[in-house]
Structure 1
């Protein structure tokens, strides 16, 4: 399935919001008639579908991607107390990766399968994926209505990424757990940047392990197993990162990635390290994070 090429939209500011709306602490978007959303729900679904399809060419299994029936997911209601109708329309039509999918979307971050949630989730008064004490703002600094927010990837532990889509403003907000809530970014721009992080292997996924954040690791050319095994100290050096990149590229990354072959080569070297001096710190490497 291919996704249309959507241009990055420029969000127009809200004008003439009355004093009563300004005083409402819930949102600065109470007068939505003065705001034209940059993307329709159908367009948002197509954008996310395109990104998820891209992931299936890398480290996500295409068999784990579930596409909705024409009428939408029957397990997701059309109305919910803590979500806007627009948000529910998007949730109703989105594709989802199975909740058993081992692959991660970002560092310590897994995609949420809203079709697998019990009915009690939708019957509740609040969204379990959004902390009621958190405040979210759009790119212009306006307080947004959390009913328009969809958490599509759940982070865990320090540095994990919790990702939110605002279905009204068409922006993605990235929350680095226990570190920083980043400024929102246009949804097309966000996913295009994330695609490039993967293509360039500044984000390095690996089956059964945490994603490596390697934005600060320079390209080191082709690195072989002998160089990795000859490294001194605990596993997790820049040379080690370059070796993983080299393995992936030798196996077709990013356009024709042979994941099983790459995993086999990496695991063979890891097993060899288990009986050598470099085994110490091997597991910690896969939790490597250079954030904050």
Structure 2
């Protein structure tokens, strides 16, 4: 389906004639097929543009709105579910991911969510997202990225929710920026939800634009990061995690390895690396991270025989012997103490 069909205009008489033929073809389809086209739109923004093409399509949308928005919601929710599942298999504690009931988190009623100031669709997305239990957070155990923790909306706990002024400030900053493509500008604040925040100086904030279906990555110190469709964003990260190009280490921020990653087709032999012994130097971070990558492979990642608990213990034992690893401890008041071992 062309951009002109979605937006309802064209740039020349010849293209206008062509689009009229295309629209005529769409209008000639059975109503159920028209509704199915809405269900397969890439995001809510495109679906709204299509429904505005003509009265008949708008009526089809309204008659099928619950199933259409449910399908569009799943496009946003499924990548989070898959990403959290991968991280839980890699390193998250077994009880860390909270999965909503089929109808969504019961505490997130329409009335209770009014305080968030979001659109009904944005609220519905939040109502069906999985979340991370706060019992493990702030130890860099369930971090999603560099000093980055998932926000938990499931109970609408005021202590968990992002401050509205902070969330709006991030959205305003992004609205003032122009990305490499015209579609990279973030939508109105009411469509945008903060799905991950940072409690550190620096760190990464993730904003989900539920209208365009994109993740906007913001580095607190460095400014804007990537802005991608949510499925593409998490698929890229998952591939890098599987290949151990992005390496998570408890008590430390995830580390990027600037190489092609591991060859998943070749069975790993830990013998040669084990015979070398773990790095003695605490000055070469890449060498130490390389040893952690070796431990992941030694214990079977990413295969079905991966021994997570044994791997996490081996990594923890190794990092405890290395002075450069930052250890973070959560105090009773929820603050973070970061220190280096002497």
TM-score (ref. length: structure 1): 0.72
* Mapping 1:104-253, distance limit 5 Å: 104-118=143-157, 126=164, 128-131=166-169, 133-136=172-175, 139=181, 140-157=183-200, 159-207=202-250, 209-216=251-258, 223-224=273-274, 226-231=276-281, 234-253=282-301
Question: Higher relative contact order at CA 8 Å, sep ≥6: structure 1 or structure 2?
Answer: 1
Partner of 1:83: 118
| Residues in 2 aligned to 1:237 and 1:105: alpha-carbon distance in whole angstroms | 21
Which stretches in structure 2 are left out of the alignment for 5+ residues? 10-43, 52-67, 263-269, 328-337
The CA deviation at 1:31 is 11
CA RMSD of aligned residues (A): 3.8
| Residues in 1 aligned to 2:283 and 2:261: alpha-carbon distance in whole angstroms | 18
| Residues in 2 aligned to 1:180 and 1:164: alpha-carbon distance in whole angstroms | 13
1:189-237 deviations in Å (ceiling 9; x for gaps): 1111010121122221123x12332233676996338543443xx3443
| Residues in 1 aligned to 2:95 and 2:164: alpha-carbon distance in whole angstroms | 32
Using the TM superposition, name which of 81-90 and 151-160 deviates more. Answer: 151-160
Describe the SS at the equivalent of 2:86. Answer: helix
Which stretches in structure 1 are left out of the alignment for 5+ residues? 1-8, 18-28, 274-278, 288-292
Compare CA radii of gyration and give the structure with the larger one.
2
1:114-162 deviations in Å (ceiling 9; x for gaps): 124326988x993654426423467524451121112111134455121
Is the alpha carbon distance of 1:267 and 1:259 closer, same or farther for their aligned partners in structure 2, counting shifts above 3 Å? Answer: same
